[in-house]
Structure 1
Amino acid sequence: MEAMYPYFLVVHLLCAIIFLGYIFTDVILLTPIRKILGDEIADKFFKIISQRGTKIMPFCVLLLVITGGAMMTRWINFELGFFNTKLQILLSIKIFLALLIVLMVITSLSFKFFIKKKNPLANIIHPIALFLGFFIVIFAKLAFY
C-alpha cells in the first residue's frame, strides 16, 4: 500500500479539484447568471451543465472516497490509533465532513435515479458542499502542518 500512496494522492487531488471546481463554479459563478439571463435561459443553461456533471461527479466522488480511504490507512489505523495525534484528529474531522458530502451526493442521486422526483434539498446541497469542501481542504493542510 505504501508504494501506491503517491498515485492515490495524485488521483485524490485531481478529483478534489474537479469536484470542488464544479461546485464552486455552480455556486459562485453560475448562480448570479440567473439574475442576468432570467429563469428561462438560466434553466436551459443549468440543465446542460448538470447533465454533464451528473455523469462525471459520481465517478469523481467514488474515486475521492476510494483514494481517501486508502491514504487514510497510512495515518489512522488500529496500530497507530485513531485520535492519538493532532494529525489523526484533524484527518478524522476531515473524513467526517467528507462523509457528509458523500451522503448528500447519494441523496441527490437517489432522488434523480430511483425516486425520480426533484430533490427537496437541491437548492442548498451545493452551497453546503462548497462550505464543507473548503473546511476539508483547510483541515487537510493543517493536519500536515
Structure 2
Amino acid sequence: MDLLYPYFLTLHLVCAIIFLGYIFTDVVLLTPIRKYVGDEIANKVFSVISKRGVRIMPLCLALLVLTGGAMISRYIGSMQGYLQTSLQIFLVIKMCVALVIVLMVIISLSCKFLKFKNPLAQVIHPVALILGFIIVVLAKIAFYV
C-alpha cells in the first residue's frame, strides 16, 4: 500500500479539484449570470455544461471515493485503531461528510435516470460546495492537530 499511496493521493487531489471546481463554477460563476443573460441563454449554457458534467462527475466521484478509501486504510483499521488519535477522528468525520455528498449524488442521479423530480435539485450544488470546503479544511487540520 505504501508504494501506491502517492499515486492514490495524486489521483485523489486531481479528482477533488475537478469535482469541486465544477461545483464552484456552477454555484459561484454560472448561476449569477442568469440575471444578466436571461433564462433562455442561461438554460442553454447550463444544459451543455450539465451534459458533460453528468458524464464526468460520477467517474470523478467514484475515483475520489476509491482513492480516499485506499488512503484512509493507511491511518484507520484494525492494526492502527479506529478513533485513538485526533488524526483518526478528523479523518472519520471527513469520511462521513464525504458520504453525505455521495448519497446526494446517488439520489440525484437516480432521479435523473428514473425520470423523477429531483428533490435536491435546488440545493445539491451549494450544499456539496460547502461540504467539499469542510472536507478540505478537515483534511488539512487532521494532519496538523
**TM-score interval, smaller chain:** over 0.9
Residue 2 of structure 1: CA displacement? 1.3
Instruction: Specify the code of the residue in structure 1 equivalent to 2:14.
Output: L
Structure 2 Cα separation of the partners of residues 92 and 117 of structure 1: 33
Q: What's the CA shift string for 1:50-74, capped at 9, x where partnerless?
A: 0000000000000000000000000
Q: What's the CA shift string for 1:105-142, capped at 9, x where partnerless?
A: 111110111x2123121110000000000000000000
How much identity, in percent, do the aligned residues show?
66
Summarize the alignment of residues 1-145 of structure 1 with structure 2, pairs less than 5 Å apart: 1-113=1-113, 115-145=114-144
Where do 5+ consecutive residues of structure 2 fail to align? none
Structure 2 Cα separation of the partners of residues 118 and 28 of structure 1: 24
TM-score by length of structure 1 reads 0.97
Give the count of matched residue pairs.
144
TM-score by length of structure 2 reads 0.97
Structure 2 Cα separation of the partners of residues 44 and 123 of structure 1: 18
Residue 41 of structure 1: CA displacement? 1.1
Q: Give the structure with the higher percent helix.
A: 1
Structure 2 Cα separation of the partners of residues 135 and 76 of structure 1: 20
Q: What's the CA shift string for 1:73-102, capped at 9, x where partnerless?
A: 000001111111010000000000000000
Where do 5+ consecutive residues of structure 1 fail to align? none
Runs of 4+ in 1 over 6 A off after TM superposition: none
Give the secondary structure class of the aligned counterpart of 2:87: helix
